[in-house]
């Protein structure tokens, strides 16, 4: 059994029980109240007991986890105030990631793995446009066309539009206006740098779940300062990662400690203008992913940023000060106070506006899974550096990384774009100087999309059965599938088949 994680102290210690780490949590508070220090403290404590961590660094200061700290005057003052024994500066094992490949290893997925539902949110599509996108994924799966990057999706959109009359019989109407709208949204996404998110080699989630030679969990830090300029891309990427973890990890129940802890910073971006159906699925994933031994911790300014159905599942809470300048703020403070198990020694609502920097209302789950009585406490400073690191320090960590060199070189294998381009060239009428002995055989619609009864390679890169066989298997899968698979496929938007095979 792992030792409790000491997070805060006043007269008594406030420790998070590792066996309750998969019951999720919340770190909340106004800007400048100490949320990032709490986040850093929790991450290094989980790492210390061998639990890998994933987090996004939206300001650039969480990179300090990779360097020993503890020498800041305010840190030394707080350590003395709390009489923390045996406090020594220490760094944590860190792997840096970056969608743009500038401050970390590139992190990518494929269009197919993202799925139509999350991609539709990324592109802000309406219901009609989302229906067309689902159709495109259906055609890709049935035709063995790989959708790896955005040029693949663009090419298939053009081809579907060109053959709309032939597709209408099987799939319904394909509106040219909807196809054009999707193409325009893809262009806008590319201009925001979103195209860097798609391609190969795609991220292998096993690389997030490593320990170092000393048995400490590796802390995976996603450089997100530039990514935050496109908030929807940021939120969708993290939601996709969470969905993939849910889909791929086996059920293990409650363990002595989590297999992974996932910190979702700026959590309000996840729920901004989100369709109710997707919000419900997120709530289900958060509820069920605990059985995969994954702890999810939302980090945000105000608890009201998180829907009630999700908030009710966050058992471990560190609530920093809230501001109450307006009637709306005061209502939010009152609502936040009511979510705690009340302490008769003080007024929780009043305390929320009186907390100092680094001070918080703390309530962790006990060994029976019941929330503890809320109390005021001071967060113990982390042993690692508070603040950013130098470029030379980052470069050294990247060179020594266990995944160094694996994701840096992008792979562009034959996929939908290349196949459709080749098919279009083959169907081009011959010029007059071509030999008359050569008979032109234009590629038919069936030729481009493959024989209906022949086996194909799916858009996820695996060999699939004929459509007739696949339909039979699909019915059987539908009958026997579990609730978890239904939820996962609802999130991922997958149309046919199981989990995508990982390619390394």
Long-range contacts of 342-345 (CB under 8 A, 24+ apart): 342/373, 342/374, 343/373, 343/374, 343/375, 345/375
Mention every residue, 6+ apart, whose C-beta is less than 8 A from residue 287: 313
Q: Which residues pair with 299 in a beta bridge?
A: 27, 265
| Three-class DSSP category at 129 | helix
Cβ neighbours of residue 9 closer than 8 Å, sequence gap 6 or more: 82, 84, 377, 378, 380
> How much is the pLDDT for 72?
84
Per-residue pLDDT of the chain (504 residues; tens, 9 = 90+): 678 999 999 989 999 999 999 999 999 999 999 999 999 999 999 999 999 999 999 988 999 999 999 788 889 999 999 999 989 999 999 999 999 999 999 999 999 999 998 999 999 999 999 999 999 999 999 999 999 999 999 999 999 999 898 888 888 888 899 999 999 999 999 988 889 999 999 999 999 999 999 999 999 999 999 999 889 899 999 999 999 999 999 999 889 999 999 999 999 998 887 878 788 888 999 999 999 999 999 999 999 999 999 999 999 999 999 998 899 889 989 999 998 999 999 999 999 999 999 999 999 999 999 999 999 999 999 999 999 999 999 999 999 999 999 999 999 999 999 999 999 888 766 655 554 444 444 334 444 444 333 344 444 444 444 433 443 333 333 333 333 334 333 444 433 333 443 444
Find residue 97's DSSP bridge partners: 105, 222
DSSP, residue by residue, 149-173: SHHHHHHHHHHHHHTHHHHHHHH--
Strand intervals (E) in 218-372: 219-223, 260-265, 294-300, 316-319, 359-363
d(CA 432, CA 24): 70
Which value, to the nearest 10 degrees, does the dihedral of the CA atoms of residues 185, 187, 191, 192 take? 30
pLDDT tens digits for 293-346?
999 999 999 999 999 999 999 999 999 999 988 998 899 899 999 989 999 999
| Interval 391-407: pLDDT, tens | 999 999 999 999 999 99
Alpha carbons 481 and 479: distance in angstroms, whole number: 6
Which tokens belong to 299? 């980090």
pLDDT of residue 40: 97
Q: How much is the pLDDT for 91?
A: 97
User: 273: Cβ–Cβ under 8 A, 6 or more apart, which residues?
Assistant: none
Q: β-strand 94-98 against 25-28: which pairing, if any?
A: unpaired
Tell me if 129 sits within 8 A of 182, measured CB to CB: yes
Q: Which residue has the tokens 């799939």?
A: 171
Question: Cα separation of 367 and 16, whole Å?
Answer: 10
Residue 430 has a pLDDT of: 60
Largest Cα span, the chain = 97
Q: What is the spatial distance between Cα 418 and Cα 148, in angstroms, rounded to a whole number?
A: 11
Instruction: Label residues 17-26 b or e (16+ Cβ within 10 Å = b).
Output: bbbbbbbbbb
Q: Report pLDDT for 483.
A: 39
Best CA proximity match to 220, nearest among 203, 208, 210, 235: 208
Rg of the chain over all Cα atoms, to the nearest angstrom: 26
Residue from 477, 206, 236 nearest 485 by CA: 477
Could you give the count of Cα atoms lying within 13 Å of 390 in the half-sphere of its Cβ?
3
Instruction: Provide the whole-model pTM.
Output: 0.84
Q: Pick the closest to residue 49 from 231, 212, 169 (CA basis).
A: 212
207 CB-near residues (< 8 Å, 6+ apart): 95, 402, 403
pLDDT tens, position by position, 98-124? 999 999 999 999 999 999 989 999 999
Q: Calculate ∠ Cα 148-155-133, nearest 5°.
A: 75
Q: CA–CA separation, 306 vs 308, rounded Å?
A: 6
- Name the residue among 8, 95, 5, 109 with its Cα closest to residue 52: 95
């Amino acid at each position: 059994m792992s030792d409790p994680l000491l997070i805060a102290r006043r007269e008594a210690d406030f420790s998070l029980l590792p066996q309750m780490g998969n019951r999720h949590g919340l770190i909340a508070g106004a800007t400048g109240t100490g949320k990032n220090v709490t986040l850093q403290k929790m991450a290094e404590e989980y790492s210390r007991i061998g639990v890998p961590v994933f987090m996004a660094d939206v300001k650039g200061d969480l990179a300090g986890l990779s360097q020993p700290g503890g020498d800041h005057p305010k840190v030394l003052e707080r350590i003395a105030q709390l009489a923390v024994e045996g406090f020594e500066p220490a760094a944590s094992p860190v792997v840096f990631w970056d969608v743009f490949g500038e401050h970390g290893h590139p992190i990518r997925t494929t269009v197919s793995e993202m799925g139509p539902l999350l991609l539709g949110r990324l592109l802000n599509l309406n219901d009609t446009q989302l229906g067309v996108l689902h159709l495109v994924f259906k055609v890709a799966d049935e035709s063995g066309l790989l959708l790896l990057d955005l040029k693949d999706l663009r090419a298939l959109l053009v081809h579907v539009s060109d053959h709309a009359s032939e597709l209408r019989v099987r799939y319904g109407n394909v509106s040219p206006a909807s196809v054009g709208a999707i193409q325009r949204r893809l262009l806008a996404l590319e201009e925001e740098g979103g195209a860097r998110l798609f391609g190969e080699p795609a991220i292998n989630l096993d690389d997030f779940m490593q320990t170092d030679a000393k048995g400490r969990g590796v802390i995976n830090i996603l450089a997100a300062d530039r990514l935050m300029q496109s908030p929807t891309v940021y939120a969708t990427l993290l939601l996709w990662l969470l969905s993939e973890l849910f889909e791929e990890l086996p059920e293990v129940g409650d363990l002595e400690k989590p297999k992974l802890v996932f910190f979702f910073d700026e959590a309000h971006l996840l729920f901004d203008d989100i369709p109710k159906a997707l919000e419900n699925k997120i709530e289900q994933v958060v509820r069920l992913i605990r059985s995969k031994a994954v702890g999810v911790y939302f980090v945000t300014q105000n608890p009201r940023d998180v829907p009630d159905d999700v908030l009710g599942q966050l058992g471990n809470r560190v609530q920093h000060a809230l501001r109450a300048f307006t009637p709306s703020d005061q209502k939010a403070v009152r609502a936040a106070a009511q979510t705690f198990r009340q302490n008769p020694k003080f007024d929780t609502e009043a305390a929320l506006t009186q907390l100092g920097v680094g001070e918080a209302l703390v309530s962790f789950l006990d060994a029976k899974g019941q929330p503890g009585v809320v109390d005021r406490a001071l967060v113990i400073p982390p042993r690692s550096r508070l603040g950013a690191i130098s470029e030379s320090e980052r470069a050294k960590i990247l060179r020594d990384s266990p995944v160094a060199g694996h994701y840096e070189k992008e792979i562009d294998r034959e996929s939908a774009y290349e196949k459709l381009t080749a098919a279009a060239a083959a169907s081009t009428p011959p010029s007059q100087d071509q030999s008359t002995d050569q008979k032109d055989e234009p590629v038919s619609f069936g030729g481009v999309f493959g024989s209906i009864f022949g086996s194909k390679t799916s858009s996820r890169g695996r060999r699939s059965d004929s459509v007739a066989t696949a339909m039979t298997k699909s019915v059987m899968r539908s009958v026997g599938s579990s609730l978890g698979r239904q939820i996962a496929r609802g999130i991922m938007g997958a149309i046919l088949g199981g989990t995508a095979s990982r390619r390394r």
